């Protein structure tokens, strides 16, 4: 990543202005990021003039590099073009394409977000809501047994439904997950979820509009919600009161024309007043599980039937070999002992199955002795 003048100006702007400002987005349609930054620095009448003057841009870059962050801007190869749809949507003075995104994690954001689904909900989730979020996320990430139809799960990293989707679903399924945060990526929030957020940073992606060092604010959470809605091909609300961040995310998704889905809950539960109302008002489609979601977003639906004579590479595997192949993580690698435990077979059986998979070009032994999955002879 090259720190061009435009990238530096946009990074500085993320530290000077509040995220999701329609005014700032509109001004960037009329002038360059460098021009807007110069104006903030020199014009004492500008709202963010004092904040801009006090900013040490060099220190901002240094801090981001120390935390292994990268800063994406529109036009980058890794920039998700779905975010560009925010240019045509605004709500209560908020909206517009982000100035840029601070990113931590090994995955490619544009690729990972192409078939992503948001799972959001209330922080004070019930056991029912958490169980639904866990199972739904797990099945969405897992996809079909042949490795197709997998979705990335996107959420906001908060307590309740968000962390259930991240931790209980996407992480335990060894799949892709994106955390969209309303704070600097070196000041993770909430503190109680730091272990999960750090794990996502190691295996998936964390993103934020806010620069290093920034703490969350209420406007920041609302601005963050529009990113979750725009980044994904569909939004599922599992549990939410009527006035909540999850309902705000659903309203952004509806404004963008993306599918909104909701899980019904007990009519006696305040945690489900929002989801039930969305369904009753026709603002969300009722879903019960991942299969319902897959049918709506159009990627999975029922598992497709293959014409006679058409086979998949995995069709030649015996049950043990297939189980070991499915247990291999989508990204990274896994040790022999762990694979044996995951599949419920002996270490000897697991080792034999891995040898067969390696000969077929479906698995590879890494230098550290762990195993990774391959597809058509290429690492997946």
pTM over 0.85: no
Residue intervals of the chain classified under CATH 1.10.10.10 are 313-379
CA distance 380 to 373: 6
Classify domain 95-297 by CATH number: 3.40.50.450
CB of 10 closer than 8 Å to CB of 73: yes
CB of 301 closer than 8 Å to CB of 294: yes
Closest CA to 140 of 294, 329, 259, 252: 294
Fold of 313-379: Arc Repressor Mutant, subunit A (1.10.10)
CB of 314 closer than 8 Å to CB of 322: yes
- For residue 305, pLDDT over 80 is answered with no
- Preceding peptide of 234 cis, ω within 30°: no
Higher pLDDT, 44 or 317: 44
DSSP structure string for 18-81: -TTBHHHHHHHTTS-HHHHHHHHHH-TTSTTHHHHHH--HHHHHHHHHHTT-EEE-TTSTTS-G
Instruction: Provide mean pLDDT across the span 132-140.
Output: 92
pLDDT recorded at residue 174: 66
> 9-35, pLDDT tens digit by residue?
999 999 999 999 999 999 998 999 999
Residue intervals of the chain classified under CATH 3.40.50.450 are 95-297
pLDDT recorded at residue 292: 92
Closest CA to 76 of 96, 97, 61: 97
pLDDT recorded at residue 218: 85
> 255-295, pLDDT tens digit by residue?
999 999 999 999 999 999 999 999 999 999 999 999 899 98
Q: Looking at residue 6, what DSSP letter applies?
A: H
């Amino acid at each position: 990543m090259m720190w061009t003048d435009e990238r530096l100006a946009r990074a500085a702007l993320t530290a000077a202005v509040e995220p999701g400002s329609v005014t700032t987005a509109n001004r960037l349609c009329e002038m360059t990021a460098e021009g807007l930054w110069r104006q903030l620095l020199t014009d004492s009448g500008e709202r963010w003039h004092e904040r801009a003057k006090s900013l040490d841009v060099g220190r901002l870059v240094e801090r981001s590099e120390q935390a292994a962050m990268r800063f994406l801007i529109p036009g980058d190869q890794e920039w998700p073009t779905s975010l560009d749809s925010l240019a045509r949507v605004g709500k209560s003075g908020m909206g517009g394409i982000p100035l840029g995104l601070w990113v931590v994690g090994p995955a490619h954001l544009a690729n990972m977000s192409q078939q992503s689904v948001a799972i959001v909900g209330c922080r004070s989730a019930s056991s029912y809501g958490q169980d639904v979020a866990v199972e739904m996320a797990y099945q969405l990430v897992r996809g079909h047994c042949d490795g197709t139809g997998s979705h990335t799960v996107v959420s906001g990293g908060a307590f309740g439904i968000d962390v259930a989707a991240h931790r209980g679903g996407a992480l335990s399924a060894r799949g892709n997950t994106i955390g969209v945060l309303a704070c600097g990526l070196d000041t993770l929030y909430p503190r109680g979820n730091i272990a999960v957020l750090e794990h996502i940073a190691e295996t998936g992606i964390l993103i934020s509009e806010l620069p290093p060092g920034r703490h969350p604010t209420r406007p920041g959470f609302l601005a963050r919600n529009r990113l979750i809605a725009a980044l994904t091909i569909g939004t599922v609300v599992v549990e939410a009161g009527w006035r909540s961040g999850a309902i705000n995310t659903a309203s952004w998704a509806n404004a963008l024309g993306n599918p909104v889905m909701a899980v019904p809950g007990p009519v006696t539960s305040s945690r489900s007043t929002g989801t039930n109302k969305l369904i009753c008002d026709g603002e969300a489609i009722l879903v019960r599980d991942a299969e319902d979601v897959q049918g709506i977003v159009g990627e999975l639906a029922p598992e497709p039937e293959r014409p006679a004579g058409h086979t998949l590479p995995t069709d030649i595997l015996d049950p043990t070999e297939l189980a070991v192949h499915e247990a291999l993580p989508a990204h990274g690698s896994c040790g022999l002992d762990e694979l044996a435990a995951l599949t419920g077979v002996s270490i000897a059986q697991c080792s034999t199955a891995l040898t067969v998979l390696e000969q077929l070009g479906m698995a590879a032994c890494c230098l550290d002795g762990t195993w990774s999955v391959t597809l058509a002879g290429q690492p997946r």
